[in-house]
Amino acid sequence: MTEQTIEPTLHSNQTGTLNFEPLGNREFLLDPYPYFEKMRKEAPVYRHEGTLIPLVSVFSHESVKRVYEDWENFSSVNPHMKQGKRVFGSLLKMDPPQHSRLREIIGPMFLPGFIRQQEPMVRAEAKRVISQIKNQTHLEVVEDLAGVMTVGVICNLTGIPSQDHQLIRDWTLDGAKIEGNIYFSKTYDDKAIGKMAAVGGRLMGYYENHVDSLIKQPGDDLISKLSQSDLTRIELIDFTQLLVGAGNETTAGLITNVIRVLLQHPDVLEQVIADQSILPTVIEELVRFWPPVRGGYRHAVNELELEGVKINPGDTVWVWGASASRDENLNEDADKFILDRKRRQHIAFAKGVHTCIGNALARMETRCILEEFFSSIKSLKTSETPAEPLSSMTINGLASLPVCVEWK
C-alpha cells in the first residue's frame, strides 16, 4: 500500500458550495483524513442539506470535546423514539442518572486492573488464531486475523459457545456496515431499514436465549457474573448485545489499522518485527492517528451555537472523533505518525460519561494478537489485491486488507 495524496471532492462544481457527502463515498471510506482536514479548515461545524433527519457534523477538537462532554445539551437518548418503548443499545443510548446506575454496576469489569486478569484467556485466543493461519502466505487481515481474534475474545467473555462464533461475527459485521448510516440518508430506503430490523431481530432472539441459559446455569463469564447483580433480565440482554456488537468490529478495526499504517511506515514495521516490546507505544500512537471509530452521534436538546453554527433541538450531531485527534490545536504535526510523540492527545474513545467502556480491553487484545503475529513472521508486504472500504460511518476500518506474509 502506498500513501497517496487525495484531493477530496467537497465542492459542488455548479455552485462552489461546500458539499460533504461521506455516505457511499469510496474515497472517503478508504481514507477519511483528507476530508477531515478540509472540513476542519473550511467548516469545523457543518449542517448537512437534504438529510431525512436534520444533521450537523462536527470536526474540530473544540466542538467534538464539547459535544462529548456536555451530555445535558447533547443527549444519547434518541428523541425520535417513542417514550416508554424499549430502547436497544443499553448504556450507549442513555443519559444519567439511568446511565450512571448501569455504568456503576458494569463499569468495574472493564477497568484496567480487571481487564488485566483476562490476559491469559486473550493470549490463548491469540495463539489459537496464529496457529490456524501460520504458513498461509496470503492473508486477509480483517477476516483471518482481526475478526477471528475479536469475535473469539468477546464470545469467551460473554460465554457464547465456539460453534456460534462465526454466526456472531457475520451478524455483527452486518450491523457495523449499516450502523449510523441512516442519519446520512437523503431518501427513505425501505430495504436498508428492513435489513437493519432483520439484523436486530436475529441478534436479539439469540441473546435472549443465551442470557436465559446463563441465568439458569451460570458459567465463569462476565454475563454470568452480571446476572448475580442488580441488572434486570432485559438490561442484561441489552448489555450483552451492546458488548458483543461494540467489542467486535471496533477492536478488529484497531488491529487492522495497526497493520495498515505499519505497511505505510516500513521502518517502524521492521522495528516491530524485530522487537515487539515497542507495540504498546505503536498502539497508543495508532489510537490517535487512525482510531477504530470514525465518529458517533448525539441528539441536541437545546438551541445553542457551535463555532457560529446554530444547533436546533432535535438535530442529530455527528461527532467525528477521528478528525479531532488530528486537529493541529490538539497535537503538533497531527497528520504524522510519530512514535516518540510528546504529550500525545486523542479523542479515540470519546470523552465524558460515555467514554468507551472497552478501551483497556481493546488495547490489551490488540497488543496480544500483534505480539503473537509479529513474533511469528519474517516479513509483511502489501498484496497486489487492493484493500476494500467498509461502508460504515462509525467504524474506521476496512472490509478487507490482503497482505503477503513470510513466516519464521
Binding site for other proteins (CB under 8 A): 65, 68-69, 103-104, 107-108, 111-114, 116, 280, 342-343, 349, 351-353, 355, 359-360, 363-364
Spell out the alpha helix ranges (H) of 82-231.
98-106, 112-116, 119-133, 148-158, 165-178, 190-216, 222-226
- Decide whether 12 or 229 has the Cβ nearer to other proteins: 229
Q: How many CB atoms lie within 10 A of CB 318?
A: 25
Q: How far is the CB of 51 from other proteins (least distance, A)?
A: 29
Q: How many CB atoms lie within 10 A of CB 385?
A: 13
- Decide whether 93 or 351 has the Cβ nearer to other proteins: 351
Radius of gyration of the chain (CA): 21
Q: How far is the CB of 291 from other proteins (least distance, A)?
A: 12
How many residues are listed for the chain in this entry?
Answer: 408
Identify whether the C-beta of residue 222 lies closer than 8 Å to the C-beta of residue 109. yes
- Decide whether 114 or 337 has the Cβ nearer to other proteins: 114
Identity of residue 176: A
- Decide whether 93 or 103 has the Cβ nearer to other proteins: 103
Q: How far is the CB of 66 from other proteins (least distance, A)?
A: 11
For residue 387, give Cα distances in angstroms to 61, 143, 294, 299: 29, 12, 18, 34
For residue 406, give Cα distances in angstroms to 44, 139, 248, 303, 376: 44, 11, 27, 57, 9
- Decide whether 103 or 298 has the Cβ nearer to other proteins: 103
- Decide whether 261 or 356 has the Cβ nearer to other proteins: 356
Q: How far is the CB of 249 from other proteins (least distance, A)?
A: 20
Cα 132–Cα 365–Cα 121 angle in degrees, nearest 5: 70
Q: How far is the CB of 124 from other proteins (least distance, A)?
A: 20
Identify whether the C-beta of residue 18 lies closer than 8 Å to the C-beta of residue 42. yes
Q: How far is the CB of 141 from other proteins (least distance, A)?
A: 24
